[in-house]
Chain A
């Protein structure tokens, strides 16, 4: 750790310079986009003027977060095969979005997820529920990104970096607020596109360098990883992390949350509004599946490469959760600790990781502040009487507030693996948002009571189970390692909370006395399938 830190410290100027370049370029884009952002539709949906390919890149940018880059590489590096589940679940999940959600959502909504949920329901209760759940999911997700940022700084600055770490988190938070407030959706989308290209290029470079060390023979890389892991072939088989009885259930829970979570993530859903038609929304998902799929294949090489070339001991020494495996691998690939090549590659990859974090954080802040303004402020508090200008300005204030909350929370969560943290956001999204979305779109009988119960049941169950899980207390890597009030054995609540969300929506509907309006459902159905009347 100290060796690594000292060599990194010498060249941290380079990291800062590269990262500064990214910040300057994206700020330029943001200011340019801000000048063109006039109406609410510009601010929330980038004027709906992006092409399927551009939005596909932006979706990939939003999705390939610090969790994917730092977290998955780290989990594979430390737990071998079990980390691979993240890559698979994160990718397969896109089929749910492709087949069931993207096109109907694009056709029937306007700015937020709640537009679709509230389409044929009573506006205020449904928008309140959807707004709250949007903000909760986004904050979980934000937390993961900020933890990633903090870990990176700690790696670059070493033990002396504690104050620097805090300041970095504050700085990242402040920058994202600027992006969102000035650039709106148009600026944020371009930031995602730039970042996606940088991240893919960085990951591809490292993948090629890793494979080159093993004569481009994946089996040789696997063999080297297995022997460096100290666990032999078992490292390449399931069961390193999820071996015992309860842990197996945790694996299943995680698997379900990953595959059902994506299509309920608010910051991904709002991306479908930035294109003009449902067909363009479909094309953006198709591009995203291609880009994200290739990226996750590369994380496999990065993770196993980190085990083989850096070694689990050095990774754990730098960060117990493995979040620094990818930058450490970069240093090793460049020539190792203390070499100029190593320092340069470390600087480049760290800058890419910072860019990744910043962009995702901006996307999340935008989605949650949009939901605050459009759902909670305009439709619930002002009962639809707010002007467009008032609505957008409340979104900007919300961005500041949500950014501040994320900054404060993330100062406390630095021991958790970012991929595991993001998996919690997926579990909440899959429990609170997905059931309600599916019922709203495809179940004629679904009612307001059903919608509200499924959002709140999913939300409350998943968050409560997380609070009383080993993630928060009772384990070495918990948020509060010194106290123990956990009674729920699994780290990921999906196995219980997702069925709870579906069940509550169903029971709530059966118990409610209100008759759903068949005309409104007909309208939703026609609009979602044909695009008639779509914004």
Chain B
């Protein structure tokens, strides 16, 4: 089990890894996932920090007993749902078809040796 010798599967994987189609797929995935992750983490941290250090703003009443703090909290729910839906759409259009194309082109070669190696 310890680091098997470089098999045909691994060399094949390297070829795919260097191919134009795969680079495009990787770029599509990373250019969405990385910035969006940084974005929502910062947005969440902003909310946490405001809760701690901006009591004046947070206690401002908006409607009845509903204040800014509660609204910002609920807004975190809204943005979470929205980002999830956005990614689902994006993946359907940009990631799944590209991944399927690569799978179809190379499927048999990489799959078989990997299965038997495990």
Contact = CB atoms under 8 A, between A and B. Distances in A.
A519 B10 contact: yes
A531 B84 contact: no
A527 B13 contact: yes
Contacts of B118: 110, 535
A89 B13 CA distance: 38
Contacts of A533: 9, 13, 110-111, 114-115
A522 interface: yes
Contact of B26 (A289, A296, A519, A529): A529
Interface of B: 1-3, 6, 9-11, 13-14, 16-18, 22, 25-26, 29, 32-33, 36-37, 40-41, 44-45, 47-49, 51-53, 55, 58-59, 63-67, 69-70, 73, 76-77, 80-81, 83-85, 87-88, 91, 96, 99, 102-103, 106-107, 110-111, 114-115, 118
Contacts of A383: 1
Given A252-B49, A526-B13, A98 B84 contact: yes
A95 B83 contact: yes
Contacts of A124: 2
A238 B22 CA distance: 48
A468 B50 CA distance: 29
A219 B63 contact: yes
B14 to A, nearest CB: 4
Contact of A91 (B3, B77, B91, B110): B77
Given A99-B37, A289-B80, A239 B55 contact: yes
Nearest to A221: B65
A141 interface: no
Contacts of A219: 63-66
Interface in A116-140: 122-124
A57 interface: no
Given A100-B33, A223-B65, A238 B52 contact: yes
Interface in A490-526: 517-520, 522-523, 525-526
A122 B2 CA distance: 6
A525 B52 contact: no
B98 to A, nearest CB: 8
Task: Give the interface centre of A88, A96, A218 by most chain B CB atoms within 10 Å.
Answer: A88
Contacts of B25: 529-530
B66 A526 contact: no
Contact of B73 (A88, A122, A523): A88
Please name the 10 residue pairs, one residue from A and one from B, whose CB atoms are nearest each other, closest first: A219-B64, A384-B1, A522-B17, A222-B65, A533-B114, A523-B13, A255-B48, A238-B51, A519-B10, A248-B52
Contacts of B69: 81, 236-238
Contacts, number: 181
B80 A95 contact: yes
A518 B14 contact: yes
A92 interface: yes
A179 interface: no
B contact patch SS: helix
B102 A530 contact: yes
Contact of A519 (B11, B64, B83): B11
Nearest to A282: B91
A95 B40 contact: yes
23 contacts: A81-B73, A87-B73, A95-B80, A99-B33, A99-B37, A233-B59, A236-B70, A238-B51, A248-B52, A252-B49, A255-B48, A256-B45, A278-B99, A279-B96, A286-B88, A297-B77, A517-B3, A522-B18, A526-B102, A530-B103, A532-B106, A533-B110, A533-B115
A226 B37 contact: no
A338 interface: no
A94 interface: yes
A220 B22 CA distance: 56
A478 to B, nearest CB: 24
Given A238-B55, A526-B17, A530-B25, 14 more contacts: A88-B73, A95-B37, A99-B32, A100-B33, A123-B3, A218-B66, A238-B58, A256-B45, A286-B84, A523-B13, A530-B16, A530-B22, A532-B13, A533-B13
A273 to B, nearest CB: 14
A531 B13 contact: no
Contact of B22 (A91, A226, A278, A526): A526
A252 B51 CA distance: 9
Interface in A62-97: 81, 84-85, 87-89, 91-92, 94-96
Contacts of A9: none
A169 interface: no
Interface string A270-283: 00000000110010
A237 B69 CA distance: 7
Given A92-B40, A92-B80, A533-B111, A282 B88 contact: yes
A242 interface: yes
B65 A226 contact: yes
Task: Give the interface centre of B32, B51, B70, B73 by most chain A CB atoms within 10 Å.
Answer: B51
B25 to A, nearest CB: 6
